[in-house]
Amino acid sequence: MRDLTELTAVQLVEGYRKGEFSPVEATRATLDRAERIQPEVNAFVRLTGEEALAQARASADRWRRGEPCGAVDGVPVTVKDILLMRGAPTLKGSRTISENGTWDEDAPSVARLREQGAVFLGKTTTPEFGWKGVTDSPLSGVTRNPHDPTRTAGGSSGGAAAAVALGAGPLALGTDGGGSVRIPAAFCGIFALKPTYGRVPLYPASAFGTLAHVGPMTRDAADAALLLDVIGAPDSRDWSALGPAAGPYTATLSGGVRGLRVAYSPSLGGQVAVQPAVAAAVRRAVERLAGLGAYVTETDPDLTDPVDAFHTLWFSGAARVTQHLGPHQREALDPGLREICGLGARMSALDYLAAVDVRMELGRRMGRFHDSYDLLVTPALPITAFEAGTEVPKGSGLHRWTGWTPFTYPFNMTQQPAASVPVGADADGLPVGLQIVAARHRDDLVLRAAHALYEAEAAGIGLPAAALAR
Encode the chain (470 residues) as per-residue pLDDT tens digits: 689 999 999 999 999 999 999 999 999 999 999 999 999 999 999 999 999 999 999 999 999 999 999 999 999 999 999 999 999 999 999 999 999 989 999 999 999 999 999 999 999 999 999 999 999 999 999 999 999 999 999 999 999 999 999 999 999 999 999 999 999 999 999 999 999 999 999 999 999 999 999 999 999 999 999 999 999 999 999 999 999 999 999 999 999 999 999 999 999 999 999 999 999 999 999 999 999 999 999 999 999 999 999 999 999 999 999 999 999 999 999 999 999 999 999 999 999 999 999 999 999 999 999 999 999 999 999 999 999 999 999 999 999 999 999 999 999 999 999 999 999 999 999 999 999 999 999 999 999 999 999 999 744 444 454 334 33
Candidates 94, 156, 265, 316; catalytic one = 156
Spatial distance between the Cα atoms of 233 and 115, rounded to a whole number of angstroms: 12
Q: What is residue 464's predicted lDDT score, i.e. its pLDDT?
A: 54
Q: What is residue 415's predicted lDDT score, i.e. its pLDDT?
A: 98
Residue 162 in any domain: the answer is yes
Active-site residue 156, yes or no?
yes
Active-site residue 22, yes or no?
no
Structural domain including 381 reads 76-307+349-469
Residue 332 in any domain: the answer is no
Residue 276 sits in a domain whose CATH number is 3.90.1300.10
Residue 458 burial class via C-beta count within 10 angstroms: exposed 0-12, middle 13-18, buried 19 and up: buried
Q: What is residue 460's predicted lDDT score, i.e. its pLDDT?
A: 46
416 Cβ contact partners less than 8 Å away, ≥ 6 residues apart: 196, 366, 437, 438, 439, 440
Residue 54 in any domain: the answer is no
Candidates 22, 80, 157, 194; catalytic one = 80
Q: Into how many domains does the chain fold?
A: 1
Reported as type and span, the H/E element at residue 123 is strand 119-124
Q: 152: helix, coil or strand? A: strand
Active-site residue 80, yes or no?
yes
Backbone angles phi, psi at 354, to 5 degrees: -65, -40
Residue 52 in any domain: the answer is no
Q: What is residue 457's predicted lDDT score, i.e. its pLDDT?
A: 72
Residue 447 in any domain: the answer is yes
Q: What is residue 183's predicted lDDT score, i.e. its pLDDT?
A: 99
Q: What is residue 291's predicted lDDT score, i.e. its pLDDT?
A: 95
Residue 3 in any domain: the answer is no
Residue 65 in any domain: the answer is no
Buried b (16+ CB within 10 A) or exposed e, 237-255: ebeebbeebeeebbebbeb
Candidates 94, 180, 206, 316; catalytic one = 180
Backbone angles phi, psi at 175, to 5 degrees: -125, 155
Enter the pTM of the model: 0.96
**In Å, how far from its chain's centre is CA 425?**
19
Residue 298 is classified by DSSP as E
